Each structure stands twice: as structure tokens, then as C-alpha cells.
């Protein structure tokens, strides 16, 4: 039973809530969410000769994502270059997520099983790289793996190799760099999951003669699954949208979607294609997020 | 020893891997810092200790300009985003859940979800229009863009603290005939202060960290420190970048330490 007075108070509180949120919403609409609509519009226009667009409706950009038109006979065929960039983005992002998990899982477990003081210290050690400039961290990897870098110099010096190994400007370099910069994003949610994990469950498992592997697979993993999914999504999304890391470690040829978008707005002079690629990237991210929300809710539902 | 062999939380190989991860996390950063003190220009061959790269970097007009520009943008962005985040946090916490509230959460967290490159090209187009229409080419665009994507980082600690705060003090103030403004000014804000400072710092670091959006939004001759560094790395001219990176790392560590102390003391 709510009285008229209570309802009025409720309305007033709600209005105050909107008013207080208004400045933040305004800023976000003009400089974050709103411009995304422009991207959608631009993806349906024709490219201008010197960049920008002609205001003529066209679906060429969307067709152009997957197909390229033969300039001689006008037939369409699959654009291999575009497909290979998409494939590289998906492949490297999945590898990055997988390896971040392989290294992040034991690390988070290790942190969660220390004494409280040690735990705080170790968490701090994970947080520092997380907040350190992404460009700086990518640059640090660049300095190690480039031809005149520490690794090659060392290997040449001890005589294992005669010529520098070409590591930089390869897919492997991009994968290595992304795993390095995004690893903390896997460790932190996994730690949060382990932190809530009831260690008595382990005891129960061992009492019932479970092996360590069985305990890990049948007890630990199912309980912390939401943390695993959260960490994986947190690593996968920025990997798909990566721009700086592939640019510094992949060079000009080993592009990912982010660099391909950049190219369309620069030397490629095809803004509509760049816009269509941006919308595609947004959709991929949205699907990943939807999967996450679904799993997270389902797991909560089962308690 | 027998005890250690069957500590229930021990999983074989986990500790070794974890220690390895910590070493691998810090080794590249450590080498980067170490070689900023190298007497020679190589990123791999040690030629003795020297501090020469620091004054050399600072003597470079481009570096100096970019640094001051970055600090200006980060200061504005931190203050603006934290101010609107405080208001939004007051408007969204400690009240009945509603659909409107979910919408506000989504909007605030949107910059965390949308890839930076997408926002960057969208802003390139939007600000391009405005630049042509108004002729204004100043730092305002960078400040607005940075303020927007810093909001979620400023909002997070403030919302967390507000949710943990006792409503009784504010109710008491209201009972003593304080106006809503007085209640906010003399009761809520002082209690909220550690979180506000934490929010300011996170927003500041986030702004200073940004490469992609700055790269697309800046007008000619408006390099920020990260966009300048990106250009230098592409040209493989990097020793002064080591020096700048080292200073950025130090700044991050100082701010994070302060952040931890601030948020922990009042737990």
C-alpha cells in the first residue's frame, strides 16, 4: 500500500535522480554514445574522392566488407585480404584469451591462497601493470623482441644464433604483446572468484578420495566458472578492438580490424567502409557481452 | 614437510607458474626502466650508467609541449568527469531500483565496452563537422572526449563509497533543518572525499593513458605525450621514449599507492 504522499515523494526522488545524472549523460551522449549513430549513417554513404563521404545512399561499403568488385568485368568475389584480417583478429584474440587463462588461472589461485597481507601485496603487483600506460607496456615488449633488442642481442652473444630471429612484425609478436598487456584483466576477476571460494569444499573432495585433477575439474572449476567467463570476455573484447599493440608489434602488414579501420580513414580514403567495419566490430563486441550476461545470469539463478 | 605435501590448497605446478607470471610481468618493464639509464643509445647493450636521456628529452621542445598538453587535458578531464560522476552517483545510488537507473548505468559504462577505435573514428567525423562549422581548433575537443571516457573510472569508487555509507547522518542533518545543499556540503561531501580523490586519480591516469582517441581527435600540432611517443616508436627513435616511459611508470605507481592508502583507510 503506497499513499499519495509516498508516491509523490517517489516521483520527486526519481526526478532528482535524473537531474543529478543529466550532466554525465549529456557528456556521454555528445562524446561517446551519440557519435556512434553517425558511424552507422556513414556506412550507408559513398566514399569521397579525397576522404570523407558523398551524401549519396549506397550499400557498397557493406558489400565491400566481404566482397571486392573486379574492376574489369564487374563481378564480385570474396575479398581475401579482408577475410584474412578478420580471421587474424579472431584467431589472435582467441589465442590471447586462452593463454591469458592458462597463465592467469594458476596466478589467481596462488594469490588467493596466500596470507591476507601477502595477498594484498600480490594484488597490488598485478594492479600496477594494469594501470601502467598500455603504450609503455607494448613498447617494453617491442624493445625485447625487436631485431636489435635484448633477446636477439643475448642469443647472438651466447652464440645460439648467427642472425637475429625475426620476432617483431609477426602475428606471434601481436599475440605475445596482447597476452602480456591483457593478462591482469584475466587475473583480477579470477582472483575475485577464488576469494569467495570455500576451501572446505576441497577438503570434502579429498576426504572422498578425489585426485587433485578431479578436485580441480569437478569442484573448483564449476564454482568459479562465472569468474572464468568474466575474465575471458574482459580479455577477448579489448583484443578484438586492439589498435596500439598490433600497430607497434605487428607493423604495417599484420593488421587487425582496428588497424584496418584506421587505414580506411587514412590512406585508404574509404570512410564508409571504415564505418561499416566499425559497426561490424561493435556487433561482435555486443554478441560477446550478450553471451557473458546470459551465462552470468544463469549461474546466479542456480545460486 | 609432510604437511606441505598435503596442504589442501596446493595444486602442483601452480606456484611455479604464478611466480613465473610475476617475473614475466615485471621483466619487460624493468628492462625498459634500466635502459633509460643507459649511457649509449642501444636498447640492449649496456654502456654504463647515465642520466643524460632525461634532460635530453626535456630539452626537446616537442616533448615539453606534449607533456604540458597531456597534463592540461588530464587535469581538466579528471575534474570534469569526477564532478559529473559525483552528481550521477548521488542520483543513482541509495534509492529504489528503476529502469531509468539501469539506463544510466549502461550509459556510464558504455566507454568501457565500445572499442576505442570505434569511438575514435566516430569523434573524428563529429568533431570534423564542428571544426568546419565553428573554425575552433583548440584543446576543447580533446578535453570533452577525455572527460567522457573517464567518467566510468571516476564513477566506480564514488558509487562504491556512497553505497557503503550510512544514511543516518544525512537524515540527522535534515532533522536539524539543514537544507539539502548544506547536508551535501557539510555531511555527504566530507564523507565522500576519499572516494572523490580516488576517482580524480583514476580519471587522471586514464586520460594520460589514452592513445587512440587522442590520435583521431587532435588537430595538427596537438600531439599529446602518448601520440608523440607512438610516432617516435614507429620511427625506432626510442631512447628518450625510455626516459619518458620511466617517468610515466613512476607517476602511475605513486598515484596507485595513494589510491590504495585512501580507499583502504576508510574500509
The range of the structural domain enclosing residue A199 comes to 79-301
CB A180 within 8 Å of CB A96? no
Cα–Cα dist A144/A167, whole Å: 10
CB A140 within 8 Å of CB B31? yes
CB B38 within 8 Å of CB B241? no
> Same domain, yes or no, for A209 and A295?
yes
DSSP chain B: -HHHHT-TT--TTHHHHHHHHHHHHHHHHHHHHHHTTBSSS-SSS---B--THHHHHHHSHHHHHHHHHHHHHHHHHHHHHHHHHHHHHHHHSSS---HHHHHHHHHHHHHHHS-HHHHHHHHHHHHHHHHHHH---STHHHHHHHHHHHHHHHHHHHHHHHHTS-THHHHHHHHTT--HHHHIIIIIHHHHHHHHHHHHHHHHHHHHH--HHHHHHPPTT---HHHHHHHHHHTT--HHHHHHHHHHHHHHHHHHHHHHHHHHHT-
The range of the structural domain enclosing residue B200 comes to 57-265
Query: Chain A residues with CB inside 8 Å of B98's CB?
Result: 14, 17
Query: Chain B residues with CB inside 8 Å of A19's CB?
Result: 91
> Same domain, yes or no, for A122 and A31?
no
**Per residue in A104-113, pLDDT tens?**
999 999 999 9
B8 has a pLDDT exceeding 70: no
**Per residue in B184-243, pLDDT tens?**
888 889 989 999 999 999 999 999 999 999 999 999 899 999 999 999 988 877 788 999
Cα–Cα dist A233/A228, whole Å: 9
> Same domain, yes or no, for A231 and A290?
yes
A303 has a pLDDT exceeding 50: no
pLDDT band with cut points at 50, 70 and 90 for residue B244:
very high
Nearest to B126 among A35, A124, A129 (CB): A35
> Same domain, yes or no, for A183 and A285?
yes
CB B217 within 8 Å of CB B119? no
Tell me if B22 is assigned to some domain.
Answer: no
**How large is the average pLDDT for residues A187-192?**
93
**How large is the average pLDDT for residues B106-130?**
94
| pLDDT at residue B6 in the model | 54
DSSP A24-89: HHHHHIIIIIHHHHHHHHHTTEEEPTTSSEEEEE--HHHHHHHEEE-TTT--EEE-HHHHHHHHHH
Tell me if A195 is assigned to some domain.
Answer: yes
Model ipTM value: 0.90
> Same domain, yes or no, for A127 and A224?
yes
Interface test with B, best of A12, A19, A31 (most B CBs within 10 A): A31
Cα–Cα dist B140/B134, whole Å: 12
Smallest Cα distance from A75 to chain B, Å: 31
Whether A154 contacts chain B with CB within 8 A: yes
Nearest to B87 among A23, A29, A33 (CB): A23
Tell me if A241 is assigned to some domain.
Answer: yes
Contact A106 B83 (CB under 8 A): no
Query: Bigger pLDDT: A296 or A170?
Result: A170
| pLDDT at residue A177 in the model | 97
* Domains: count for chain A: 2
> Same domain, yes or no, for A16 and A108?
no
Contact A36 B122 (CB under 8 A): yes
**How large is the average pLDDT for residues A120-131?**
93
| pLDDT at residue A301 in the model | 44
Tell me if B51 is assigned to some domain.
Answer: no
Contact B245 A36 (CB under 8 A): no
Tell me if B17 is assigned to some domain.
Answer: no
B167 has a pLDDT exceeding 90: no
| pLDDT at residue B252 in the model | 92
**Per residue in B61-80, pLDDT tens?**
999 999 999 999 999 999 99
Smallest Cα distance from A78 to chain B, Å: 25
Query: Chain A residues with CB inside 8 Å of B26's CB?
Result: 125, 129
Query: Bigger pLDDT: B200 or A206?
Result: B200
> Same domain, yes or no, for A285 and A210?
yes
> Same domain, yes or no, for A11 and A127?
no
Contact B117 A243 (CB under 8 A): yes
- Which residues between 62 and 101 in chain A have a beta carbon less than 8 angstroms from any beta carbon of chain B? none
> Same domain, yes or no, for A18 and A93?
no
Q: What is the CATH number of the domain that holds B226?
A: 1.10.3720.10
Query: Chain B residues with CB inside 8 Å of A251's CB?
Result: none
Smallest Cα distance from B53 to chain A, Å: 17
* Domains: count for chain B: 1
> Same domain, yes or no, for A30 and A86?
no
Smallest Cα distance from A74 to chain B, Å: 30
- Which residues between 220 and 239 in chain A have a beta carbon less than 8 angstroms from any beta carbon of chain B? 237-238
> Same domain, yes or no, for A118 and A223?
yes
Nearest to A39 among B121, B234, B256 (CB): B121
B247 has a pLDDT exceeding 50: yes
Tell me if A54 is assigned to some domain.
Answer: no
B168 has a pLDDT exceeding 70: yes
Q: What is the CATH number of the domain that holds A296?
A: 1.10.3720.10
Smallest Cα distance from A197 to chain B, Å: 11
pLDDT band with cut points at 50, 70 and 90 for residue A180:
very high
Share of chain B above pLDDT 70, in %: 96
Tell me if B123 is assigned to some domain.
Answer: yes
**Per residue in A14-31, pLDDT tens?**
888 889 999 999 999 999
Whether A44 contacts chain B with CB within 8 A: no
Contact B211 A110 (CB under 8 A): no
The pTM (predicted TM-score) of the whole model is: 0.90
Contact A109 B11 (CB under 8 A): yes
Amino acid at each position: 500500500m503506497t499513499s499519495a504522499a509516498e508516491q509523490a515523494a517517489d516521483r520527486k526522488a526519481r526526478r532528482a535522480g535524473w537531474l543529478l545524472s543529466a550532466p554525465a549523460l549529456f557528456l556521454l551522449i555528445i562524446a561517446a554514445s551519440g557519435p556512434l549513430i553517425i558511424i552507422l549513417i556513414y556506412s550507408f554513404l559513398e566514399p569521397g574522392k579525397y576522404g570523407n563521404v558523398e551524401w549519396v545512399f549506397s550499400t557498397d561499403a557493406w558489400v565491400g566488407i566481404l566482397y571486392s568488385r573486379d574492376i574489369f568485368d564487374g563481378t564480385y568475389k570474396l575479398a581475401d585480404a579482408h577475410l584474412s584480417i578478420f580471421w587474424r583478429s579472431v584467431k589472435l584474440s582467441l589465442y590471447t584469451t586462452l593463454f591469458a587463462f592458462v597463465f592467469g588461472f594458476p596466478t589467481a589461485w596462488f594469490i588467493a591462497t596466500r596470507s591476507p597481507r601477502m595477498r594484498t601485496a600480490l594484488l597490488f603487483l598485478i594492479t600496477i601493470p594494469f594501470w601502467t600506460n598500455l603504450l609503455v607496456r607494448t613498447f617494453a615488449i617491442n624493445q625485447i623482441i625487436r631485431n636489435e633488442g635484448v633477446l636477439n642481442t643475448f642469443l647472438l652473444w651466447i652464440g645460439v644464433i648467427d642472425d637475429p630471429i625475426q620476432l617483431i612484425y609477426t602475428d606471434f609478436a601481436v599475440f605475445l604483446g596482447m597476452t602480456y598487456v591483457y593478462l591482469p584483466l584475466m587475473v583480477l576477476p579470477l582472483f575475485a572468484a577464488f576469494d569467495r571460494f570455500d576451501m572446505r569444499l576441497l577438503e570434502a573432495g579429498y576426504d572422498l578420495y578425489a585426485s587433485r585433477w578431479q578436485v580441480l575439474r569437478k569442484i573448483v572449476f564449476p564454482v568459479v566458472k562465472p569468474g572464468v567467463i568474466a575474465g575471458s570476455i574482459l580479455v577477448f573484447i579489448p583484443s578484438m578492438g586492439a589498435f596500439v599493440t598490433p600497430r607497434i608489434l605487428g607493423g604495417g602488414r599484420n593488421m587487425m580490424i582496428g588497424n584496418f579501420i584506421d587505414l580506411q580513414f587514412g590512406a585508404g580514403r574509404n570512410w564508409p567502409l571504415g564505418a561499416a567495419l566499425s559497426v561490424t566490430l561493435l556487433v561482435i563486441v555486443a554478441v560477446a557481452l550478450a553471451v557473458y550476461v546470459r551465462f552470468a545470469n544463469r549461474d546466479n539463478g542456480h545460486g | 614437510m609432510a604437511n606441505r605435501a598435503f596442504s589442501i590448497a596446493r595444486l602442483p605446478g601452480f606456484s611455479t607458474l604464478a611466480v613465473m607470471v610475476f617475473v614475466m610481468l615485471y621483466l619487460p618493464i624493468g628492462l625498459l626502466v634500466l635502459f633509460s639509464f643507459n649511457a649509449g643509445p642501444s636498447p640492449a647493450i649496456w654502456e654504463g650508467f647515465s642520466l643524460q636521456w632525461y634532460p635530453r628529452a626535456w630539452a626537446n621542445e616537442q616533448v615539453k609541449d606534449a607533456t604540458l598538453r597531456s597534463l592540461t587535458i588530464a587535469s581538466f578531464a579528471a575534474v570534469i568527469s569526477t564532478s559529473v560522476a559525483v552528481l550521477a552517483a548521488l542520483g543513482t545510488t541509495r534509492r529504489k531500483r528503476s529502469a531509468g537507473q539501469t539506463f544510466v548505468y549502461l550509459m556510464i559504462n558504455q566507454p568501457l565496452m565500445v572499442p576505442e577505435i570505434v569511438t575514435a573514428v566516430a569523434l573524428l567525423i563529429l568533431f570534423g563537422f564542428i571544426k568546419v562549422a565553428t573554425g575552433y581548433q583548440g584543446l576543447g575537443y580533446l578535453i570533452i572526449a577525455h572527460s567522457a571516457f573517464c567518467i566510468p573510472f571516476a564513477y566506480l569508487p564514488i558509487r562504491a563509497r556512497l553505497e557503503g555509507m550510512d544514511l543516518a547522518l544525512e537524515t540527522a542533518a535534515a532533522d536539524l533543518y539543514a537544507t539539502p545543499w548544506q547536508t551535501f556540503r557539510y555531511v555527504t561531501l566530507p564523507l565522500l572525499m576519499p572516494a572523490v580523490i580516488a576517482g580524480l586519480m583514476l580519471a587522471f591516469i586514464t586520460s594520460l593513458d589514452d592513445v587512440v582517441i587522442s590520435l583521431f581527435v587532435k588537430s595538427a600540432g596537438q600531439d599529446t605525450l602518448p601520440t608523440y611517443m607512438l610516432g617516435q616508436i614507429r620511427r625506432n627513435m626510442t631512447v628518450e621514449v625510455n626516459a619518458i616511459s620511466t617517468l610515466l611508470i613512476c607517476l602511475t605507481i605513486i598515484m596507485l599507492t595513494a589510491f590504495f592508502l585512501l580507499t583502504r583507510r576508510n574500509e
